[in-house]
Amino acid sequence: MRYKYVPYKNIYPKLFEEEKRRIKSFLSKDCVIEHFGSTSIKGVGGKGIIDIYVSIDESLLDQTSNVLQSLGYERKDTNLGRASQQRIFHQIKRPDSTGELRKFHLHLGVLDSEDFKKSIAFRDYLRTHPEFAAEYDQIKRKSVKAAKSVKTKEEKKRAYMETKQPMIDKILKAVKKL
């Protein structure tokens, strides 16, 4: 994983909506598709990757994963540090509507799971609390610098996450108080 900081771009919501429409017609009507991660929060920079969370009934996980693969998404077996919930990660890199080669990360999880609720609550909190969003943006910049200051892939990942984690915990604590 390359660690870089890309400032927020106003086109991100449009790109998400285009990708959502592209995949929605192939999935169960009961699925929920949400934009999350830094590209879903105005003013917060990050890697410039559009994060999509598809939440479905647990019985449809494998079937939906296969459909996503038929749409060009590559399945990556990883728990993303979230061993408590089953989540399947997919990614695709393809030109977006502007012609730019764009990476999309799709997280496939269980409908109304705690993981899904927490991810969306985190996003919603930052959307409605610009002071926290600005602070989170600064932490993300520091996280990239921390990752670039070490050599190995494992050290980079650890430095990146250790720099961000206190702020993530602070935001999640604030979310729980709501």
**177 pLDDT tier (thresholds 50, 70, 90):** confident
What mean pLDDT do residues 106-133 have? 95
Sorted by where each begins, the domain ranges of the chain are: 12-111, 123-176
pLDDT at 42 over 80: yes
Q: How many residues does the chain have?
A: 178
Confidence at residue 75, expressed as pLDDT on a 0 to 100 scale? 92
pLDDT at 120 over 90: yes
* Percentage with pLDDT > 90 across the chain: 85
Give the helix ranges, DSSP H, for 10-108: 12-24, 61-70
Instruction: State the DSSP string of 45-111.
Output: -BS--EEEEEEE-GGGHHHHHHHHHHTTPEEE---TT-TTS-EEEEEEEEE-TTS-EEEEEEEEEET
Confidence at residue 28, expressed as pLDDT on a 0 to 100 scale? 87
Q: Which CATH architecture has domain 12-111?
A: 2-Layer Sandwich (3.30)
List the structure tokens of 158: 């650890």
End-to-end CA distance of the chain: 34
Rg over alpha carbons for the chain, rounded to the nearest Å, is 16
pLDDT at 138 over 90: yes
CB 15 within 8 A of CB 50: yes
CB 103 within 8 A of CB 37: no
pTM: 0.91
